Amino acid sequence: MQHLLSLKDYSKEQIEQILELAKDVKANPTKYAEALKGKSVVTLFEKPSLRTRVTFDIGVNKLGGHAVYLDSQNGAMGKRETVQDFAANLSRWCDAIVARVYDHQTLVEMTEHASVPVINSLCNLYHPCQALADFLTISEHFDDLSQVHLAYVGDGNNVTHSLLLCGAILGTTVTAVSPRGHNVDAQILKEAEALAAVSGAKIRVTDSLDDIDGVDVIYTDTWVSMGDNTPLEQVKEIYMPYQINQALLDKTGAKKVLHCQPAHREWEITSEVMDGPASLILDQAENRMHAQNAVLLTLMKG
Ligand code: CP
Ligand code: NVA
């Protein structure tokens, strides 16, 4: 049995298979309409969600299964009962657990006590389902991921970490551009570099937008992630030079734009770019469902 806490636990072949399966699920939904018949998935959220909650719920439904949603009151592990008891009880009823948590350690603890696959639907360190959907979206526009330069611009966060790891495994060039002091986690960067050494990927981290050119896809995310109560206003001055706008697209040569959403329009990204011809942002949101369905089919096999 395999969990999905971080993509670093997956091989290039496994990720490529998930992306291929996602494409097939997207193209041939009727073929998979009963694939999870009689199976149940619990999705629990310690933090808010629109895309993840809805895409897992509707996604499981499209595969013929049943999804049970636990909100932040009822899915608050460690409060009413321990993470251990939560995971052990859920395992007696459902066939997979999808969890969005504050602390990655909660997921690790869940896997120690769950007898069904645990899927990370965002934690402080990673957002693997997002990265799979992102690389699925990129691969719909670029045939060879080893020839793609993806530049992530903004706060070095959970989304950045998963993009770096996924790119490193798949052989993609990924540059993370963040203001000084807001860089990605040093340990995760090391892990991505080690994976890149195997695949031939180029992984770079910089604080200067002058360091990036020849960009195919440019990507950003919120400047302040869930769980951090810093008001956006307070970091505006630091991050505004890193805003994704038409001038940055022109400067870097970026042909496509991604944002995991929720977006703060006119902050990390302008509406002009978000709604413009280079934007793949809604395809990316749709692809959350197809990528996750491929993950569910892979992990719930048998
Ligand atoms: N991108 C993403 O995970 O969106 P939600 O927080 O709305 O689920
Ligand atoms: N980095 C963001 C992603 C939201 C989908 C957060 O963790 O809040």
Structure pTM?
0.98
Task: Note whether 118 and 172 are same-domain residues.
Answer: no
CA 283 to chain centre: 14
The answer to whether residue 3 is domain-embedded is no
Task: Note whether 265 and 158 are same-domain residues.
Answer: yes
Task: Note whether 196 and 248 are same-domain residues.
Answer: yes
Range of the domain at 20: 12-127+285-300
pLDDT at residue 75, rounded to an integer: 78
The answer to whether residue 4 is domain-embedded is no
What pLDDT digit, counting tens, does each position of 270-285 carry? 999 999 999 999 999 9
Task: Note whether 135 and 263 are same-domain residues.
Answer: yes
The answer to whether residue 21 is domain-embedded is yes
Task: Note whether 147 and 77 are same-domain residues.
Answer: no
What pLDDT digit, counting tens, does each position of 55-109 carry? 999 999 999 999 999 998 887 888 899 999 999 999 999 999 999 999 999 999 9
Q: How many domains is the chain built from? A: 2
CA distance 161 to 174: 11
The answer to whether residue 2 is domain-embedded is no
Scanning the chain, the segments in alpha helix (DSSP H) are: 12-27, 51-62, 83-93, 104-113, 128-139, 158-170, 186-199, 232-239, 246-252, 271-274, 281-299
Task: Note whether 103 and 151 are same-domain residues.
Answer: no
The answer to whether residue 1 is domain-embedded is no
The answer to whether residue 5 is domain-embedded is no
The answer to whether residue 31 is domain-embedded is yes
Gap from CA of 159 to ligand 2 centroid (Å): 7
Among the options 3, 51, 288, 290, which is catalytic?
A: 288
Gap from CA of 288 to ligand 1 centroid (Å): 9
Task: Note whether 99 and 113 are same-domain residues.
Answer: yes
Query: 302 falls in which pLDDT band (50, 70, 90)?
Result: low
Gap from CA of 51 to ligand 1 centroid (Å): 5
pLDDT at residue 74, rounded to an integer: 85
pLDDT at residue 212, rounded to an integer: 94
Among the options 3, 127, 149, 259, which is catalytic?
A: 127
Task: Note whether 170 and 41 are same-domain residues.
Answer: no
Give the CATH number for residue 77.
3.40.50.1370
Task: Note whether 279 and 290 are same-domain residues.
Answer: no
Task: Note whether 206 and 237 are same-domain residues.
Answer: yes
The answer to whether residue 6 is domain-embedded is no
Let me know the angle formed at the C-alpha of 229 by 227 and 234, rounded to the nearest 5 degrees.
135
CB 65 within 8 A of CB 71: no
Give the pocket of ligand 2 (CB within 6 Å): 122, 157-159, 221-222, 225-226, 260
All residues at 6 or more sequence positions from 151 whose CB lies less than 8 Å from its CB, including other chains:
174, 175, 176, 177, 212, 215, 217, 218, 219, 252, 254
Task: Note whether 289 and 279 are same-domain residues.
Answer: no
CB of residue 49 inside a 6 A radius of ligand 1:
yes
Task: Note whether 154 and 238 are same-domain residues.
Answer: yes
